Amino acid sequence: MSAMRVDAKVVMLGKESVGKTSLVERYVHHRFLVGPYQNTIGAAFVAKPIQVGDKVITLGIWDTAGSERYEAMSRIYYRGARAAVVCYGKSTLGKYNKNTIKSKRCYRQVKCKSESIGAQYFETSSKTGKNVGKFYWQLVVSAVPSEAFVSLEETGVDLDQKKDSYFYTCCHNN
């Protein structure tokens, strides 16, 4: 049971088939599975231990259902989360923006938006693993503030000191 102990909760948000699970899968298992439908990869909950200095911090990564019909419920998932990762796929945006100029504008919009809410923006590829490690490391650093490294071990996750971090990630699977 104690193996299930988790220091920081991270929720993955984003529409269906955007590659949330792929991103987790790439990070945790260092693999990228190719299938006809990409959203079926990996388990929904993953506990990932990370070596931080001489301590081991365990990230609890929560996958969420991206379908619109569950949008009203997503609030329930945020509770007690240290960080939220908002995923969107370049390919999904591309659907509406056929030419690159618009696509670039869209990218800028996302970047602007992420800056305006104090989020960090990463462009990652679950297929090649590009930026994934960097992204997660930044996630760990932000979700588990360095001064909390000491106190975390003693008190567990303190909800009052919640410092939410938002991440925008961009996954291109091709």
Partner 1 sequence: MSQRTERRGIHVDQSDLLCKKGCGYYGNAAWQGLCSKCWREEYQRVRQKQIQDDWALAEKLQREEEEAYASSHSVRDPQSAAGHAALAPFSKFEEKKTNEKTRKVTTVKKFFSPSSRTSSKKESPEGKTPSPSISRHASFDTDQVSKDFVEFLKNLHKPGREIHKQCRAFLMNMSSKKDLGADELSECVQDFYQSLADRLTGHFKGSSESVEQVMDQVEKYIMTRLYKSVFCPETTDDEKKDLAIQHRIRALHWVTIQMLCVSMDEEIPEVSENVLKAITDVIEMDSKRVPRDKLACITRCSKHIFSAIRITKNEPASADDFLPALIYIVLKANPPRLQSNIQYITRFCNPSRLMTGEDGYYFTNLCCAVAFIEKLDAQSLNLSPEEFERYMSGQASPRFSSSDGDWPDGAQGVGVAVTNPALAQLNHNLELLSGLCSRQEAVMEAAQSLQADLLSWSESVQREVRDILEKYPLEIKSSKVSAIDTNNVDNENLPSPIKPQVFAG
Binding site for partner 1 (CB under 8 A): 1-2, 4-9, 16-17, 20-21, 33, 35, 39-45, 47, 60, 62-67, 69-70, 72-73, 76-77, 79-80, 153-157, 159
Considering beta carbons, is residue 63 or 168 the nearer one to partner 1? 63
Count, in order, helices (H) and strands (E) of the chain. Answer: 6, 6
- Specify the residue, 116 or 155, whose C-beta has the smaller distance to partner 1: 155
Burial (0-12, 13-18, 19+ Cβ within 10 Å), 117 = exposed
Question: Which of 7/121 has CB closer to partner 1?
Answer: 7
DSSP state of 4: G
Q: Whole-number minimum distance, CB 129 to partner 1, in Å?
A: 19
CB of 109 to partner 1, least distance (A): 26
Nearer to partner 1, 73 or 117 (CB): 73
Q: Where are the alpha helices (H) located in the chain, listed in sequence order? A: 20-29, 74-78, 90-96, 100-116, 132-143, 148-155
How near is the Cβ of 19 to partner 1 at its closest, in Å? Answer: 11
Minimal distance in Å, beta carbon 115 to partner 1? 28
Separation CA 14–CA 100 (nearest Å): 23
Q: How far is 78 from 66, CA to CA, in rounded Å?
A: 14
We find the least distance from the C-beta atom of residue 74 to partner 1, in angstroms, to be: 8
Between CA 146 and CA 152 the distance in angstroms is 10
Which residue shows structure tokens 């909800």? 159
Residue among 24 and 170 whose Cβ is closer to partner 1: 24
